[in-house]
Each structure stands twice: as C-alpha cells, then as structure tokens.
Amino acid sequence: MRDLIRRILDWVDHRTGFETAVKNFLYEDIPASSGWHQVFGSIALFLFFVQAFTGVLLAFNYAPQPGDAYHSLQYIVSEITGGRLIRGLHHWGSSLMVVVVGLHMIQVALWGAYKKPREATWILGVLLLLLVLAFGLTGYLLPWDNRAYWATVVTIQIAGLVPLFGEYILEFLGGAEGVGVSTFTRFYTLHVLMLPALTVLLMMLHIHLVRKHGVTPSPRAIGQPKKKFYPGQAFKDLMAFFAVFILLFVLAATVDVPLEGLADPSDSTYVPRPEWYFLFLFQTLKFFEGRWEVVGAVILPTLAVLALLAVPFLDRAKVKRIQQRTLAFAVVGLVLAGWLALTVAAFLTTPEPVESARETSPPAADWRFLTPVELAGRAYFQREKCAGCHNLAEGEPKMGPTLATVSHRKSAEWLMEHFKNPSEVVPGSPMPTMTISDDELTCLAAFVLKLTPGNATALEVVPDYAMRGAVIYHESQCASCHVVNGSGEESGPPLNGVGQRRTAQWLEDHFRDPQKFDPQSVMPPYDFPPDDMKAIVDYMKALPPASE
C-alpha cells in the first residue's frame, strides 16, 4: 500500500514537480537566529486564508444589494446553522488581521529587517498594509445597517477632499451622488473581487522576496550553520496560528457582532464611528478646522504612508544587534504612543447614543391612554397588515424594523413620505407603497411616533371594539368639539370620565338624539349602525377617567 502511494506520488511529481516544490518550500534554509519573533508574517498569511474562507461562505448566502444585503445578513446570523459564528470569524478576523500586520511591521522595524537588500520587501509590506485597511473600509459598508451607511458617508466625504483628484475618486467609489446603490456595488466589487486579487498578487511577490533574500539573520547568527524551516520553525508558526485561532474563535463565538437597524439616510441623530483601527484618523480630523481640514484628512495620512515607504532609505546604517537599536525603539515607541493617545481620546469623546429624548414624551401605558387619532392609527396598522413585516416590540425578528426601536428617530413628515414611497426614502426597502388616504396615514404616523420600548408590548394587544370605536370617533370628527386624553377642541364637554358617569344605554340614546337630553346641545345626531354603535359606546366606557 505504502509502495503504491509512493509510486503515485512519484508519478505526479515527475509530471508536475509539485512534491519537490512543497519540499523546497518546507526545507528552506533559515538562519540559526530565527524563532518566535518571526511568526507574525506567517500569521497574517494564515488569517488571510481564514478571511477568504469565511468571506466565500458569507457570499454563499449574501445578497449584494442595499436593503437585501441587510436582510440576507440578518438571515445568515439568525436562521442559518453556524451563520453567526462565520460572520463573527470574518468580523473579528479583520480586526486581528490589522493587529497582526501591525505587529509584523513593528517586529521588522525593531530588528531593522528592511535594510538592504530587503527594501522592496518592506515596500510591498506597506502596500499590503494599505490593502488590509482598504478591506476594512469597504467591508464596513456591506452589512448596510445604519452604522455602515453613516460611516461610509463620512469616508466618502473625506475622499472628496483629496486635492485635484477628489472628484475622480468620488466617481470611482460611486459616491458622487452620495452613498447609495452605486457606492454599495463599487465597495462590494472592491471588497470581494479586486482587493483579494491584488492582495494575493502582492503577497506572492512579498513571499517571493522573503525567500529570495532569506529571513534576516541577527548579526550574531551570520556564519553560524543554518537550520531548516521544517519542522522547528513550522511548529512555532503553527502554534502561533493556533493561539490566534483560539482567540478568534472565542471572540466569534462569544461576542455578538452588532447588526443595527436597516440603513436610514434620514436619521440625522446617528453618530457614526469608524472601526477601532481608524479611530486615530478620525481623532486627527478634529484638530483641523475649516480649510485646514484637508491637512488632517488627506495630507497627514499621505505623509505618514510616504514616511513608512521611505523607512529603508532613511535608515541605511549597518545591521546591528537588536539590543543596540535604541533609535528604532524610540521611533516605534513614539509612533505607537501617538497612535494610542489619539485612539484613546477618540474612545473617550464618543458620546452615548441619543436615547434619552424619547423619555420626555407623555407616557401611554396602554391603548386606553392613546388619543383617538393614535388609536385609529393602531387600527389601520392592523387593517393594512403592517404586522406581517414589523414588530411593535422586540420579538421574533421580522423583515422590517421593530417599530418601537426606530420610531423615536423619525418625524411625522418622514413617516408620511416613507409610507407613500418606501424605497425612495429608504433605498432598497422592500416595503410596498401604502395606498390609503392621507388622513389615515396621518393617524398611522401618529401611532408609530407614540411607540416606545416601554409601551410597545402593551400596545400589541388592543381589543377590536376600541380600534373600531376610535376609527368611528375619528371619522365622525368628534375631536372638533371634544377632548379625549388631552387631544381635541374644547367647545364640547371632555369625554374622559363620561363612561363612568353614564350608562351604556344613556350614551347610545344620546348619540341618536342629543337634544333629547339637552335642548341647547349643538351636537348633531349620530345614528350609527348597531355594531358601530356598540363599538363606540364601549370605547367611551373604556376611556380612563379625567386625571384632574
């Protein structure tokens, strides 16, 4: 059996050279000084494979269209086996990639491994760092939630600041008309087609150069016998992969990656924040005002990249032992301290999400405290089957957003526009256009605006008679003379408490012929059909007594 496998392998190797190539790779000579400090490049390569693997898996169930992107991601994380884990791996993998690439660069900088003849290896490395950041930037938009949308609005604005080329960059990123369908498609294409291809190409060149020049030996190791990559260093690399992988897996399995509400371009209260590794840039921006903004947004970052590229040409001294590279330590330390200070400052100045404003609106504990207009809106919510796609309170996830958690950020005007033209107000919204009258839409908007996480559960249950009664009340324009729950004109008596003072029969008779009870009354008679009469009388009886 062994013999047969050997013969097959020999046959394949003779025709492809595959086994020889693998052996050459594994039995590469490395300096005696190699060790644990040289595992970071390999980890970055490993993480790239993890990202590619999880990214392809995500793409299997992801719909690259605004709106659908959000819903399909929601489907991935809530319905599909392992979907939450795979998204977690991809999300945290990207953060770890930034960390590992950073550590890799720091290691190379401290050891001075960029020196002649390895300048090109370093430059390719800097370009790979930029690609990693570009992955982060483009991937951030793809969930198409509020966070993604607003962070990208800022990114696009910054891109537009670039002198001379700003307009072209905006055009290229599909952001000339603001963030929308074209931005999304461009970001998606960059993220899943162009950046991976570029990264693979540059990684191959980078690794080719590493092998061409060999791993940088420490000065002491020069002249010492070399060792083989396999199995000693391969073991160290793999242990490092394992440690990173365990960390990644634990993060993905235990820390939920947020998926906020569907992207909402009308939400002016949203405070966008970039991913943590961009916070230093975000903080830098705050120091430059007005026409100086371009300095923080474009010029300084460009200079920083140029400085990184120039490192091997600035430091051309002979290779020294790491213990003697005090200047390198000082520079790296300074850069890290600056980065850390900016990042911490950005964290500290991040305001709490705006959530408190909603507490001030008068509470409506249950349906009895809604105004008739709001309650009629609740009736239309039922009639139009809004509950097919929307929850009032958090519950089993539905296609549309949970209304209690999004309504406080909306205005009545916005809601009206949205009802009439859902996909124009929220790009990609699959909500059908509502074809009911403006008057009914106004009620619906009033009801939606009344929702809070505190009352939404109670408002899920409203008896039919109350909704029907409120609709009759509203359609008969009772509010032009009467107040219920603080809403309406005061020319007639307020109706809170009337149900406690009068019998149902009295109310019914009064509706049919008000003047029979008070000859001076200006109220017109209302001869409702029996069912309607019962509904509005029951509704009147159920109103809470006046509080004063």
Contacting residues toward other proteins, per CB under 8 A: 50, 53-54, 57, 60-61, 63, 68, 71-72, 74-75, 79-83, 85-86, 89, 228, 231-232, 234-235, 238-239, 241-242, 245, 249, 399, 430
Phi, psi of 432, deg, nearest 5 = -75, 150
Least distance to other proteins, CB of residue 69, Å: 10
Minimum Å distance from CB 292 to other proteins? 46
* Residue 395 CB, nearest approach to other proteins (Å): 17
CB 296 within 8 A of CB 287: yes
Of 77 and 311, the one with the shorter C-beta distance to other proteins is: 77
Nearer to other proteins by C-beta: 82 or 463? 82
Contact 27, 228 (CB under 8 A): yes
Comparing CB distances to other proteins, the nearer of 239 and 306 is 239
Report in angstroms how near the CB of residue 357 gets to other proteins at its nearest. 32
Q: Which is nearer to other proteins, 234 or 354 (CB)?
A: 234
- CB 430 → other proteins: shortest distance, Å? 8
- Is the Cβ of residue 86 or residue 109 nearer to other proteins in the bound state? 86
Q: Which is nearer to other proteins, 250 or 340 (CB)?
A: 250
Least CB distance from residue 77 to other proteins, whole Å? 11
In contact, 377 and 447? CB cutoff 8 Å: yes
Minimum distance, C-beta of residue 358 to other proteins, in the bound complex (Å): 30
**CA–CA distance, 229 with 240 (Å, rounded to integer):** 15
Paired tokens of 417: 């526009």
Q: Measured between alpha carbons, how far is 351 from 16 in angstroms, rounded to an integer?
A: 60
Question: What token pair was written down for 259?
Answer: 């998926």
Residues 447, 449, 450, 451, CA torsion sign: positive
- Tell me how far, at minimum, the Cβ of 433 lies from other proteins, in Å: 15
- Shortest Cβ 60–other proteins spacing (Å): 6
Beta strands in 229-300 (DSSP E): none
CA distance 71 to 78: 10
How far apart, in whole angstroms, are the C-alpha atoms of residue 353 and residue 362? 21
Residue 47 or 536 having the CB closest to other proteins: 47
Nearer of residues 54 and 485 to other proteins, judged by Cβ: 54
What whole-number distance in Å separates Cα of residue 25 and Cα of residue 208? 11
Instruction: Please report the DSSP string for 376-424 in residue order.
Output: HHHHHHHHTTGGGT--SSS-S--SSPPHHHHGGG--HHHHHHHHH-HHH
Nearer Cβ to other proteins (227/358):
227
Cβ count near 332 (within 10 Å): 16
State the number of CA atoms in the 13 A half-sphere of 410 facing the CB: 26
Phi, psi angles (nearest 5°) of residue 145: -95, 180
Torsions phi, psi for 487 (to 5 deg):
-125, 130
